[in-house]
Amino acid sequence: MSTTKKAHTTPPYELIYWPTIPGRGEFIRLVFEATGTPYTDIANETKDGISAVLALKDETATTSGDGNPPAFAPPALKIPGQGKDGKALVIYQTPSILAYLGNKLNFAGTDEAEKHYILSHTLTALDLNNETHDTHHPIASQLYYEDQKPEALRKATDFRESRLPKFFGFFERVLKGNEEGGGKFLVGGKLSYADTTLWHVLDGLKFAFPKELAAREKEFPALFGSFYGSVKEVSGLKEYLASDRRLQYSQGVFRYYPELDRQ
């Protein structure tokens, strides 16, 4: 973990998420990396870190510790000293964690309007993330892909033909409408967690649907040209993406099944 000036002024953030996959935890990691904020990715970095993830999933608990409510699912963020009576604050749900960190780390625009645009666009990017997951699990998360393959083929076809152009077209218009951003930022004139979140979804889609994305990229030049290309070159992100902390796509949200891609 890089040490920066922020090491002395920010609390010791702990990300509680499954190890080995990017998953929804990645949206939170990218915020830390892009802002140069020290954090502990507890299940990937500590020997018994997985126990913190399993404790979060205890379906008998009425708290997640220190007086915080239980969490429905990982990821969660633990911030020592920021909760009730000086205890740790524990929050869950990716958009809620991103909104919290966006405020604390100056990564959520410059005024109240921008703050809400950023949250709204982030929610839309995460909806696309969820719809991507449902292409290989349209019936039930707890079943194997192989047990819902006919449905997955049907769902993925609609996703590629109708949903992808709708989402891509929307974000293309957002980029074009934000003159201050020059095609590099969704909102205003600086990077925010909306940008890192959308960027990761696009990157995951390139992995999961390579033929479909290759065919579509030219239709959305702002999104796949200036935006996708510039975010990955941002200081902090560039180094992270080249490091072994950036986990590989495998069996998480973004999976490569050739039969679900454009034929």
Per CB under 8 A, residues contacting its own copies are 59-63, 68-72, 82-84, 89, 91-93, 95-96, 99-100, 112-113, 116-117, 119-121, 123-124, 127, 130, 134, 138-140, 142-143, 151, 154-155, 158, 162, 166-167, 169-170, 173-174, 176-178, 186-187
Residue 111's SS3 state is coil
CB of 185 to its own copies, least distance (A): 12
Nearer to its own copies, 69 or 229 (CB): 69
Rounded Cα distance, 104 and 98, in Å = 10
β-strands 13-16, 39-41 pairing:
parallel
Nearer to its own copies, 97 or 213 (CB): 97
Q: Which residue has 């077209």 as its token pair? A: 169
CB distance 66 to 90 below 8 Å = yes
Nearer to its own copies, 18 or 170 (CB): 170
CB of 162 to its own copies, least distance (A): 6
Nearer to its own copies, 47 or 150 (CB): 150
Nearer to its own copies, 67 or 250 (CB): 67
> What's 90's DSSP letter?
E
> What's 65's DSSP letter?
B
Contacts (Cβ under 8 Å, ≥6 apart) of 91 = 68, 76, 77, 79, 97, 100
CB of 230 to its own copies, least distance (A): 19
Rounded Cα distance, 141 and 254, in Å = 14
CB of 3 to its own copies, least distance (A): 27
